[in-house]
Amino acid sequence: MHVRISRLAFKSLRNSEYTMFISQLVAIFLKYDADALQLRKSFDRVVALTPELDKIRAQDLSSAYSNMIRDLDVQRDNLFSTFVSMVKTLEKSGIKSLAPHVEILKRLLDKHGRDIAEAGYSAETKRLNDFLVDISTNANVMAAITATNLALFIDQLRTVNTEFASKFMVRVEESSMSEIINTHTIRRVSDKTLVSFFDAIEFCSSEYEELDYVTPAKELNELITYYKTMLKGRESRRIAGKDISVEAPIDPKP
C-alpha cells in the first residue's frame, strides 16, 4: 500500500531541535527491518549523519556555556556600576557621619577606576580581583564598606567574578580544543539525506505492496506532526508579539 511521508520545514528547526528530530527518527526506524523493507542503503545514510550531528550538539553546548558567561559578565557589570552609583549618591546625601567613609570609597574608585565594567572579559576580571583584594586587605576600606551598608554588593560581586573567571577559563580551554564546523553545510547535506529517505519509503511502498510500510510511516508522520505543531505554535507567538526563546549567536565582549 502506497504511503506518503509528510514533509517538514527543516530550516525552521533550531539546531537542538534538528538533531533531536533525526535522533528520534532513527530510533523509530530501528524497530523495523530495513533490509526486508528494501531501505537499508537509504536508512544507513541517515544513520551515518550521526557523527556530524554530534558536532552540532557539541557546538550548541559550547554556545550555551558562552551565554552563561555573558550573563555573569552582565551581572558583575551591574553590581560594580551600582556600587559606583551608590557611592556617588552617598556623597550627595550630605550625611555627615558617613562623609569620612565616603571619602575612603571615592579614593578606592579613583585608584581602580570607575570604568571597570567597560573593560574586556579578561581585563575586567583582573581589575575586579585587584579591586576586591584591596577592599579585603585594607581595614579602613572594610570599615567604610560596612558603615555604608555596601557589604552585600561587594560579597555578591566577589562571588560572581569568581564564578565568571572559573567558567571563562573552562570555555577558553574547550574552544582551543573544539573543531570549527560549518553547521549550515552539515544541515544541507542532512536535509538532502532525509528527503531521499522519505522518497525511498514512498517509492518502495508502491513497488512492494506486500510489505508493511504503513506502520513505520504512521510513526514517522506522528513525529513530524509533533514538530509541525511546535513550529506553528512558535510562529503564532511571534506574530502575537510574545517573547520566544532564540538561539542567538554569541558576540564576545571586546
For 72-86, give one letter per residue: b (16+ CB within 10 A) or e: bbebbbebbeebbeb
Q: Which residue has the higher pLDDT, 86 or 250?
A: 86
Domain boundaries, the chain: 10-48+179-239, 75-177
d(CA 149, CA 152): 7
Does residue 149 register a pLDDT over 90? yes
d(CA 15, CA 247): 8
Q: What is the pLDDT of residues 77-93, one digit of tens each?
A: 999 999 999 999 999 99
Nearest C-alpha neighbor of 126 from the set 90, 171, 161: 161
Nearest C-alpha neighbor of 80 from the set 163, 161, 164: 161
The DSSP line for 43-81 is HHHHHTTHHHHHHHHHHHHHHHHHHHHHHHHHHHHHHHH
d(CA 222, CA 115): 56
d(CA 80, CA 92): 19
Q: Is 113 strand, coil or helix?
A: coil
Q: What is the pLDDT of residues 2-52, one digit of tens each?
A: 999 999 999 989 888 999 999 999 999 999 999 999 999 999 999 999 998
Does residue 253 register a pLDDT over 80? no
Report the range of poorest mean pLDDT among 78-82, 203-207, 236-240: 236-240
CB contact at 8 A, 142 and 135: yes
The predicted structure's pLDDT at residue 242: 59
CB contact at 8 A, 62 and 178: yes
Average pLDDT score over the chain: 88
Angle among Cα 85, 91, 93 to the nearest 5 degrees reads 100
pTM check: above 0.85: no
The DSSP line for 86-111 is HHHHHHHHT-GGGHHHHHHHHHHHHH
